[in-house]
Structure 1
C-alpha cells in the first residue's frame, strides 16, 4: 500500500470518525431535546396540577361561602317570620290594656250582661293574639325584681322586710312575641 492509499484511508477513517462524532452529537442533541420536551411536558403537567389545585381551593371556598350565606339568610328569614307582626302586636297592646281596665270597671258595676259580653270579646281578642305568638310576662307582687325582664318605674319603701328588692306593684303588663320581649312589665320595687 502506498503512502497515498494510506493517507486516503486515514482521511476516510477520519471522515468516518467525524461522521460518527457528528452522529453522536446529533443523537445527544436529540436526546437532550427529548429530555427538554419531557421536562417541559412534566412542568406543563405540574403547572396544570397546581392550577387544578388552585381552582379546587377556590371552588371549596366559594361553596363554603355559599353554604354560610344560605344558613344566614335562612336564619334571618325565620327571625323575620317570628316577629313579622311585631309592629301590629305592639300597636294592639294599648287596646288590650283598655280591655283589661274596662273589665275591671265593669266588674264593679251591676250590669253583669254587659260585663260578660265585653269579657267574651276580650277573651277572643286575647286568644287570637296568643295564637299569633303573643305571651304575657308573669310579674306579680312579691316576685324578685329582674332588671333584664322588668322595667322599674319607681322605688318605694317596702311595707315589710320580705318585699325589699321585690316587686310591690305591677303598673303595666309586659308581653313577649316568640323569644323577644316587645314590652317590659312596668313595676314598682320596694327598697
Structure 2
C-alpha cells in the first residue's frame, strides 16, 4: 500500500468514525431536545390547566352572582307586588281611623233621651249615623262582635275583669268601646269587660 492509499484508508476510517461520533452526538442532542419539548409541553399543559381552573372558578362565581341577583330581583318584585296589593286592600284605613271617633260621638249623641221637642233632631242624627255606617261598610269596615263572645286578644282589649256566675269564664260581659276591622285586619280592637 502506498502512502496515498494509507491516507485514504485512514481518512475513510476517520470519516467513518467521525460519522459515527456525529451520529452519537446527534442522537444525544435529539434525546436532550426531545426532553426539552416534553418539559415545555408539560409546563404549557400545567399553565393551561391552571388558567382553565381559574376561568372556571370565575365563571362559577359570576353565575352564582347572577343567580343571587335574579333571586333578589324576584324577591323585590314579589315584595313590591305584595305592598301594592296591601295598599289597595287597606287604602281606606287612614280615613276609617279618622272617622271612628266621629262614629263614637254619634253613638253617644244617639243615646240621649228622646222627647217630643228633640224627636226630629234625633231622627236626623240617626239617618246621618246610618249613612256613615253604610259608607264604612262599603269600604270593608265592619264592627267586631263582642258581647257574650269568647275573649280573643287579637280582636279585643280587656280593660276590666269581673266575676259573674251568669257568664262562663273568659266571656265578654260588656263592650266599653266598639272595635272595627278593615277586611281581615283589626284597625281598632274592642275595649271590653271580661268575666274571670
Sort the TM-score into its range (normalised by shorter chain).
0.7 to 0.9
* C-alpha distance in structure 2 between counterparts of 1:155 and 1:128, whole Å: 34
* C-alpha distance in structure 2 between counterparts of 1:86 and 1:68, whole Å: 26
Return the offset for 1:10: 0.4
The alignment partner of 1:122 has SS state of helix
* C-alpha distance in structure 1 between counterparts of 2:186 and 2:120, whole Å: 35
- Describe the superposition over 1:92-130 as per-residue Cα deviations: whole angstroms up to 9, x where unpaired: 111101222233337x33355434432332222112222
* C-alpha distance in structure 2 between counterparts of 1:157 and 1:48, whole Å: 77
Give me the TM-score of the superposition, normalised by structure 1: 0.79
Q: Does 1:40 align with 2:47?
A: yes
Aligned residues: 188
The alignment partner of 2:158 has SS state of strand
Residues 9 and 129 (structure 1), Cα distance of their counterparts in 2 relative to 1, 3 Å cut: same
Unmatched tracts of structure 2, length 5 or more: 1-5
* C-alpha distance in structure 2 between counterparts of 1:34 and 1:147, whole Å: 79
Mapping 1:14-53, distance limit 5 Å: 14-53=21-60
Corresponding position of 1:109: 115
Return the offset for 1:90: 1.8
Of 111-120 and 127-136, deviating more is 111-120
- Describe the superposition over 1:54-106 as per-residue Cα deviations: whole angstroms up to 9, x where unpaired: 21112112222222233233333433444444343222111101222233337
Corresponding position of 1:155: 161
> What do you get for the CA RMSD once the two structures are aligned?
2.7
Q: State whether residues 144 and 181 of structure 2, in contact with CA within 8 Å, keep that contact through their aligned partners in structure 1.
A: yes
Residues 52 and 114 (structure 1), Cα distance of their counterparts in 2 relative to 1, 3 Å cut: same
* C-alpha distance in structure 1 between counterparts of 2:57 and 2:174, whole Å: 73
Higher gyration radius (CA): 2
Unmatched tracts of structure 1, length 5 or more: none
Corresponding position of 2:189: 184
The alignment partner of 2:174 has SS state of strand
Of 4-13 and 72-81, deviating more is 72-81
Mapping 1:52-63, distance limit 5 Å: 52-63=59-70
Residues 80 and 118 (structure 1), Cα distance of their counterparts in 2 relative to 1, 3 Å cut: same
Corresponding position of 1:121: 128
Q: Does 1:134 align with 2:141?
A: yes
Give me the TM-score of the superposition, normalised by structure 2: 0.78
